[in-house]
């Protein structure tokens, strides 16, 4: 029985998508729930699984095709054997009917083609107008030319392609070379190689035109919308990471042994952000029309680099999770993003976002809001700097610049600064997070 593979629902308001890479070829066996094809929507790239075990009989949509939600993109022969389906490479079109005949008669051996008769030479004088046109592969004809013709071409620097051979099979004769030399130099010069197309400004074109993916188009649109609809401001501070590094050094191995996951920096900042959001709930709110929606849950988006670009999966109810649970959840989401297996459920919602540009070496940046959220915390590279410590002593400390971009329509500057100071205090004294003080 044939089953159609259809484009699944890709989230609210998403009606179409683009076919990405096919993970299986026509004729290959598939297992139930095995990823078959990547589909790029305006929100994420998701892998569509096989609805049943069988054979991918026919691919209906190719990479780059635009498809609608619910549209059939392939046929699966349920329970069929792999040998019963013709294998045709993607892009070459399916085999008619999709089935391989039980026996294929052998083709008869090719019959030798009789040689074409050679036209006799004309008896009258052979002028330029009556000379036969140059045959393809002039170089080969020149190699069959007699020594006198080859020597004459070499003496005058004449290329073989500029000489029309009149002998059998296009052979170049001495008189052919003489006629070629009698023509103007411009006429016998080989055609110039085609030059790259020029742009209107006269420069040589050295560009490639590549269409944006649905995900990239949506990222671009939403970033512009954020700039146009929200009053975005950014405030900065710096954090001494000494205590967090000390905790990780002292308890990292025991943490890994007990929980099976490394103790990273992000769990500290997620918990610190939750405590700061509790103290300043307006940063966790959003503007909805002429209303402010305060949210009493803490679903923290963590920006991660995926196989198709930056995505922001959600660590839900982060306030109820332990450090180990936060680390495990972030690790799971990051792996799904790298494997292009992120789902709409992983991305939907979110009340606040944390973006760590420090892993790429960023020292300072101004993150852009993730609408409709009103705040985003930017983390940066840890770098040793000279700071003044207690007793006016100067010491080298591992410092990190942090940035809070916020929607000034509902978040005042005073609240934004105090929020960032609350994050700074929690990181510089991590026991505050554990004791919730």
Copy the structure tokens of residue 390: 């207690």
Distance separating alpha carbons of residues 153 and 160, to the nearest angstrom = 8
Sign of the CA dihedral with 413 first, then 408, 376, and 402 last: negative
> 16, 58 in Cβ contact below 8 A?
no
Specify whether the backbone of 91 is left (phi greater than 0), alpha (psi in -120 to 50) or beta. Answer: left
* 3-state SS class at 352: strand
- Counting Cα atoms < 13 Å in the Cβ hemisphere of 293 gives 10
Is residue 380 among the annotated active site residues? no
In 219-288, DSSP assigns E strands to: 232-240, 286-288
Backbone angles phi, psi at 39, to 5 degrees: -120, 125
Compute the Cα dihedral for 361, 304, 316, 250 and give only its sign: negative
Label residue 132 exposed, middle or buried (CB < 10 Å: 0-12, 13-18, 19+).
middle
Catalytic choice (299, 317, 319, 408): 408
d(CA 148, CA 227): 78
Catalytic residues: 408, 412
């Amino acid at each position: 029985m044939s089953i159609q593979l259809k484009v699944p629902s890709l989230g609210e308001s998403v009606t179409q998508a683009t076919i990405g890479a096919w993970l299986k070829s026509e004729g290959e066996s598939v297992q139930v729930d095995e990823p078959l094809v990547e589909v790029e929507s305006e929100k994420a790239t998701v892998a569509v699984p096989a609805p049943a075990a069988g054979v991918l009989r026919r691919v209906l949509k190719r990479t780059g095709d635009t498809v609608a939600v619910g549209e059939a993109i392939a046929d699966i022969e349920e329970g069929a054997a792999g040998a019963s389906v013709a294998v045709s490479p993607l892009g070459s079109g399916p085999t008619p009917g999709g089935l391989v005949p039980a026996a294929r008669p052998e083709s008869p051996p090719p019959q030798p083609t009789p040689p074409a008769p050679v036209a006799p030479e004309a008896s009258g004088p052979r002028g330029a107008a009556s000379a036969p046109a140059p045959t393809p592969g002039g170089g080969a004809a020149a190699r069959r030319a007699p020594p006198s013709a080859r020597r004459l071409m070499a003496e005058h620097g004449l290329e073989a392609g500029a000489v029309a051979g009149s002998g059998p099979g296009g052979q170049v004769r001495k008189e052919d070379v003489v006629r070629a030399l009698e023509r103007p130099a411009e006429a016998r010069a080989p055609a110039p190689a085609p030059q790259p197309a020029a742009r209107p400004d006269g420069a040589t074109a050295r560009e490639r035109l590549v269409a944006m993916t649905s995900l990239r188009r949506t990222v671009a649109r939403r970033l512009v919308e954020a700039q146009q609809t929200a009053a975005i401001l950014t405030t900065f501070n710096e954090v001494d990471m000494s205590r967090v590094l000390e905790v990780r050094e002292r308890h990292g191995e025991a943490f890994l042994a007990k929980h099976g996951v490394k103790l990273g920096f992000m769990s500290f900042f997620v918990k610190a952000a939750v405590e700061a959001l509790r103290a300043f709930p307006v940063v966790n709110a959003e503007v909805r029309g002429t209303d402010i929606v305060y949210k009493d849950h803490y679903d923290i988006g963590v920006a991660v680099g995926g196989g198709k670009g930056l995505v922001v999966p959600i660590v839900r109810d982060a306030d109820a999770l332990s450090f180990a649970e936060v680390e495990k959840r972030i690790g799971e989401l990051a792996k799904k993003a790298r494997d292009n297996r992120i789902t709409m459920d992983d991305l939907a919602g979110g009340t606040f976002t944390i973006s760590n540009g420090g892993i790429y070496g960023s020292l300072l940046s101004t993150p852009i809001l993730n609408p409709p959220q009103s705040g985003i915390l930017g983390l940066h590279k840890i770098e040793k700097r000279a700071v003044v410590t207690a007793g006016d002593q100067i010491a080298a400390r591992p410092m990190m610049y942090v940035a809070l971009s916020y929607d000034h329509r509902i978040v005042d500057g005073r609240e934004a600064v105090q929020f960032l100071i609350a994050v700074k205090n929690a990181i510089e004294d991590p026991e505050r997070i554990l004791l919730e003080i």
